[in-house]
Amino acid sequence: MTTVRPPLGRPGSEPGAPEPGRGAAPAVVAVRRLFGVTDADAMIVVGTVVFLVLFGLVMVLSSSAVISAQANEGDFFAVFLRQGLFALAGIPLMLVVSRISPRFWRKHARHAVMLGLALQVLVFTGLGYDYGGNRNWITLFGFSAQPSEFLKLALAVWLATVLADRANAFPDLRSVVIPALPVSGVAIIMVLAGQDLGTASIMIAIVLAALFFAGAPLRWLGGMVAVLAVGAVLFATSSASRSSRISVWLNGCAPEDYEYTCWQSVHALWALGSGGLFGVGLGNSATKWRWLPHAENDFIFAIIGEELGLIGAVVVLALFAVLAVALMRMVRRHVDPFARIATGAIMVWIVGQAFVNIAVVLGMLPVFGVPLPFISAGGSALLASLLAIGVVVSLSRELPEPRLRPAMPTAPPVAPRAPRRPAR
């Protein structure tokens, strides 16, 4: 009797069974090859971010066309083209950064934060200028930039470096404060000196997130939050503009506040309300006709709600929720404290800033000047956010492989019984 042997292959393979990875969708395979991404959560992060950037370009074109035409002699596409150039530069830059070894970030984190502080100092020189009451911008070689956006990323990576060696080992308050807070405090104070409370608030969240994911005791973090809350109140009341915005947020808008402090908040809510369930249609916003200042930037979510309705607004919220879940899964799986702290701090920065922006548009927070990540117009914010995602993907190369559940043991085959002979 001739014995038929199974075809040679890997253990457990069956004839005709597809090889691992061969049945994956072509888009997934393309992302893996392009970004060198092998982790499923990192692929979700990359896919979500790219979709948000493309969606943001569409909304920037829609929300900025009117103002762009009035400011650029009939050129409806000026703001959109500028944002598109930053997207074309930022996505390949994210690709390059994602392929860098994770050891690079730990080695050069100190140089990055020193460079970020040096650029922030330029804000107070002849290269800096005011915009919207904040002195947080510089002009270099004909291009304007916001150094604090890149300082956020440098601060997140640097904090991960100095806290990784003492992760989950903070014997006293001094070990929490030094060396993390002095450099972070200098960076935040420099941003506050430019009157940019929104950016400073996000930087404070990055510092607290880094300490939290490093394992700092919650009682000390709670004390720091209380001290920061008192400081924030004192700083907010030091300016008539900030105190009036907080006052109308707490007490509502009086008739005399409508044309000044309440203008953006009221028109943002009107835009959201007029959108209904399905919106008035892409490009058909009435609020963008100079009724809502910064409609393409800080208040672009109001235009999304007006043109795409409640469904469009919920989709944006869902995308940021997916991004938060994928990033949190990566944080929990990281074994290296440096990678865990850096990924967690970047997650709080990106997702936290998104929900602060949306909360401001909905009237749940007083007006802060923070853009909606990946969607709002703004080259510095877009580039810095894409660089941060590139760092996260780079760190994901050290993630352990997910554990597979062991296969359930199968019972051995039972030999058929011989048929009984009929009784005589």
Q: How far is the first Cα of the chain from the last one, in angstroms, to the nearest whole number?
A: 37
Residue 63 pLDDT: 92
Q: What is the pLDDT of residue 244?
A: 81
- pLDDT, position 68: 85
Instruction: Please return the burial class of 25, using the count of CB atoms within 10 Å of its CB with bins 0-12, 13-18 and 19+.
Output: exposed
The tally of CA atoms less than 13 A away on the side-chain side of residue 63 is 30
Residue 197: the pLDDT is 87
How would DSSP label each residue in 345-399?
Answer: HHHHHHHHHHHHHHHHHTTSS-------TTTSS-HHHHHHHHHHHHHHHHHGGGP
Q: pLDDT tens-digit profile of 209-253?
A: 999 999 999 988 999 999 888 888 888 777 777 778 888 888 878
Q: What is the pLDDT of residue 412?
A: 58
Record the tokens describing residue 353, joined without a space.
């800033």
Q: What is the DSSP letter of 310?
A: H
Give the pLDDT score at 21: 46
pLDDT value of position 10 = 41
The pLDDT of residue 116 = 94
Q: pTM for the full model?
A: 0.86
pLDDT value of position 17: 43
> Mean pLDDT per 10-residue run, the chain (424 residues)?
45 43 56 70 95 96 88 82 95 93 92 94 90 83 88 96 86 82 93 90 95 92 90 79 80 76 87 92 90 91 95 97 97 94 97 95 88 94 96 90 56 59 56
The full DSSP string for 126-190 is TTEEEETTEEEEEEETTEEE-HHHHHHHHHHHHHHHHHHTTTT---SHHHHHTTHHHHHHHHHHH
Instruction: Tell me what pLDDT residue 406 has.
Output: 52
Confirm if 302 and 290 have CB atoms less than 8 A apart.
Answer: no
Task: Give residue-wise pLDDT tens across range 372-403.
Answer: 999 999 999 999 999 999 999 999 988 877 65
